[in-house]
């Protein structure tokens, strides 16, 4: 079992920045492909960004490309999401996900097998 815990969310003005973290516990000896999804009120959960277990590949949704950066510390499987130039449309609950199959995270709206409980990001305009 893997438990994922997100942190770093909050309230920020449009144009501001936030950095989210996701730290796993449990099977941390296993390296996981990981990613971020988000869900805005009244909308479907959507893919935001993903990173392979080795950190050699990253993918982003078109809506965040150039503004968000995903990174990781491989020694403890912790991933980060640096969010810049935030917009009101970025408001939502951000979830961390992990899987052994990277393409499951990137190409599916279902995301990975493991999920965190999410952290709220609110961008005021």
Closest CA to 22 of 34, 10, 30, 13: 34
- What pLDDT score was predicted for residue 122? 98
- Classified as helix, coil or strand, 121 is strand
How many other C-beta atoms are found inside a 10 Å radius of the C-beta of residue 22?
26
CB-count exposure of residue 3 (10 Å: 0-12, 13-18, 19+): middle
Query: What percentage of residues in the chain have a pLDDT greater than 70?
Result: 98
User: Buried b vs exposed e over 47-86: b needs ≥16 C-beta within 10 Å?
Assistant: bbbbbbbeeeebbbbeebeeebbbebeeeebbbbbebeeb
Q: pLDDT value at position 1? A: 79
Per-residue pLDDT of the chain (125 residues; tens, 9 = 90+): 789 999 999 999 999 999 999 998 876 677 899 999 999 999 999 999 999 999 999 999 999 999 999 999 877 889 999 999 999 999 999 999 999 999 999 987 788 999 999 999 999 98
pLDDT for 27 equals 67
């Amino acid at each position: 079992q893997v438990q994922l815990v997100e942190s770093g969310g909050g309230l920020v003005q449009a144009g501001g920045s936030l950095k989210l973290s996701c730290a796993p516990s449990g099977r941390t000896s296993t390296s996981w492909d990981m990613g971020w999804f988000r869900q805005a009120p009244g909308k479907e959960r959507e893919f935001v960004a993903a990173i392979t277990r080795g950190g050699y590949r990253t993918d982003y949704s078109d809506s965040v490309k150039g503004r968000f950066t995903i990174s990781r510390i491989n020694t403890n499987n912790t991933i980060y999401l640096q969010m810049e130039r935030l917009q009101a449309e970025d408001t939502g609950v951000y979830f961390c996900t992990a899987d052994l199959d990277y393409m499951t995270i990137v190409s599916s709206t279902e995301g990975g097998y493991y999920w965190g409980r999410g952290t709220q990001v609110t961008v005021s305009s």
